[in-house]
Amino acid sequence: MEKWRRLNGQVFDLPVKEAVEETIVREKEAGYRLKVCIGSDSQVRNGSIEFATVIVFLREKKGGFMFIQNSRSTRRMSLKERMITEVAKSVEVAYDLCDLLDRYHVELEVHADINTDPAFQSNTALKEAMGYILSMGFVFKAKPDAFASSSCADKVI
């Protein structure tokens, strides 16, 4: 499994779940109300697919920050398969963290870099992605409301 890091490049030595818990405790002690948004994005580059998954911590009315994980696949994928793989990466992280977030009463959203407008190619994966995320019990957001995937993850691929 690829390492998680901060935007400044600092790699976490501990498992991401422990880093997230330490972060929640620190932020709550500082008086912040948190929401966590998880999203992934990908790009095809030089015959491989580069993925970025982010855990975005939003401080209510006080900005936010994110943890980042990058990975790469050399397998050929259709656009729809790539979109579903992005969603699967986000769901895997959300599933790993959901009991922790529940324990600390932190809201969770899973963001998919999929357009709700049928004129866009990524729309072909919308129904499956939405079904997958909602069936896992998570709050689902797609473009234009899916900033964790379409803005945050997009910038760190």
Q: What does pTM read for this prediction? A: 0.95
Give pLDDT tens digits for 82-112: 999 999 999 999 999 999 999 999 999 999 9
pLDDT, mean of residues 13-29? 97
pLDDT, averaged across the chain: 95
**Residue of 2 and 68 predicted with greater confidence:** 68
At 66 the pLDDT is 98
Are 120 and 11 within 8 A, CB to CB? Answer: no
Contact partners, residue 130, CB within 8 Å, separation at least 6: 112, 140, 142
Given a cut of 90, is residue 1 above it in pLDDT? no
Are 87 and 79 within 8 A, CB to CB? Answer: no
Quick one: pLDDT band at residue 2, thresholds 50, 70, 90?
confident
At 44 the pLDDT is 95
Domain definitions of the chain by residue range? 4-155
Looking at domain 4-155, does it have CATH number 3.30.70? no
Quick one: pLDDT band at residue 116, thresholds 50, 70, 90?
very high
Q: What is the DSSP letter of 10?
A: P
Given a cut of 90, is residue 126 above it in pLDDT? yes
Share of the chain above pLDDT 90, in %: 96
